Structures are given as structure tokens and as C-alpha cells.
Amino acid sequence: MIRGIGIDIVEIARIERACRRWEEKFRERLYTDAEWAYCTSRAQPYAAMAARFAAKEAVMKALGVGVGKIGWREIEISREEYGRPRVRLYGKARDLARRQGITEIWISLSHCRDYASACAVAEGGSGR
């Protein structure tokens, strides 16, 4: 059963500006070490960062909370063996999902030259 849906879009240039201005603080606030390593290894690191930023916001929306209710680093976007993105939750985000009966969050990421977007679908057992 679908428990929540979230979608977000972000300008890649906005993420690039923030990263260049506050690199260390920006990284430490928003991305796990694994996410940062992945993004900075890519040919288009800011597009990868923007896609993960959008994904984290989409997950927050799917969980039914706004920015600030759970930490950015409590949501991690990783990749499975063949490239499919995967959501991992930690701390308050994981606890919130469990209380809501959410057992899986499906995520899709996309980007073009100017924008990155993500859609998250929270899935769980029947009932409320």
C-alpha cells in the first residue's frame, strides 16, 4: 500500500553556488560521506549533488514532514549494483518511517542541463 508520495525539483546551479560558497559546511550538513564520495567522482558532480538533494526533499515529503523535522544526513541515497537508486534511513527518519508502517521507499532521480528532480514513493502494509 502506498503510504506517501513526494516529488522535488532543484536548479543544479543553485546547488553549485551553495557548494562553492560553503563547501565544507554544505557537505557536512547535507550529504553522508558515501554520497559525497559518489558525487565528487562523477563527471557532473553538481548534477549528482542536486539529484540527491531533490531526492532527500522528496523523501521528506513522502514521509509527511517538512525540512527541519529530520536531518538531511538521516536520508542517504545510494546505488544498487546495477545503478538503481536506493534510500537508506537513519535516526529520526528511520523511526518515523517505522511508526508509519513504511517498509520501503522507492526513489527515481533525473537531471538535465539545468535541473535535477526526484520522486519518492513510501510503501508499507495495509491499514493506518
CATH 3.30.70.20 fits 2-124, yes or no: no
pLDDT at 126: 66
Residues forming beta bridges with residue 29, ordered by sequence position: none
pLDDT at 125: 79
Q: If 0-12 CB within 10 Å is exposed, 13-18 middle and 19+ buried, where does residue 23 land? A: exposed
Annotated binding residue 57: yes
Can you list the residues of the chain whose pLDDT is less than 50? Answer: none
Annotated binding residue 8: yes
Summarised one tens digit per residue, pLDDT across range 66-89 is 778 899 999 999 999 898 999 999
